[in-house]
Amino acid sequence: MNDKLSHYDSAGKVSMVDVGAKTETQRTASARAYIALNKAVLEALPTNKKGDPFEVARIAGIMAAKKTSDLIPLCHSLPLTNVDIGLTLDENGVEVIATASTVARTGVEMEAMTAACVAALTIYDMTKALDKSIEIRQIHLLEKTGGKSGTFRREKG
């Protein structure tokens, strides 16, 4: 693990990381978010008057990944080659897995994380009329590949 934060210059001022000397490589990242929903909300998902929450969340997640550098101040703007949002319903809620890919000089972890968060927030927005106590939990990076630091995979559990 690196013991130095990358977004500070030698004088301790906030600085955007210069990636100009890095090599462009294929990079991917996957992130997870979980939306805990009660039984009544889960049963109402197919009849939501606002539309299909999963399809709206999928589009919102893709759009969010594309706008990450507009939301996170020191994030580089990346030419995304793909964004995929997977939504899986279980007996306690919805799992969101967002995957982003690029060929660039820096990674796509922030794009995947942003996509997962916004997809989860969209599910909340579309179901909040039924329950204000919905929780978004367990937002984290699952995996990243490419670049100098290589592959990272989150340990299970």
Note whether residue 125 is domain-resident.
yes
pLDDT at site 63: 98
| Count: domains in the chain | 1
Name the DSSP letter for residue 48: -
Residue 3 inside a domain? The answer is no
- Given this model, what pLDDT does residue 15 score? 72
- Active-site option among 52, 84, 125, 131: 125
Residue 43 resides in a domain = yes
The per-residue pLDDT for 71 is 96
What pLDDT is attached to residue 86?
98
Predicted pLDDT of residue 22: 83
Report pLDDT for 11.
72
Query: Which three-class secondary structure state does DSSP give residue 125?
Result: helix
4 within a domain of the structure (yes/no): no
18 located within any domain: no
User: Which parts of the chain register pLDDT below 70?
Assistant: 1-9, 157
Active site residue 18: no
Residue 38 CB: number of other CB atoms within 10 A?
15
Compute the radius of gyration of the chain from its Cα atoms: 17
Please report which helix (H) or strand (E) contains residue 58, including its range: helix 53-66
Could you tell me if residue 38 is inside a domain?
Answer: yes
| 59 falls within a domain | yes
Enclosing H/E stretch for 143: strand 135-145
Nearest alpha-carbon partner for 37 in 150, 151, 131: 131
The pLDDT assigned to 129 comes to 93
Tally helices (H) and strands (E) across the chain: 4, 5
Instruction: Write down the pLDDT at residue 66.
Output: 98
- CATH code of the domain in which 30 resides: 3.30.70.640
Q: 68: domain range?
A: 25-145
pLDDT at 49: 85
Any domain includes 11 = no
Q: What per-residue confidence (pLDDT) applies to 4?
A: 62
**pTM of the prediction?**
0.90
Residues 112, 110: Cα–Cα separation, whole Å? 5
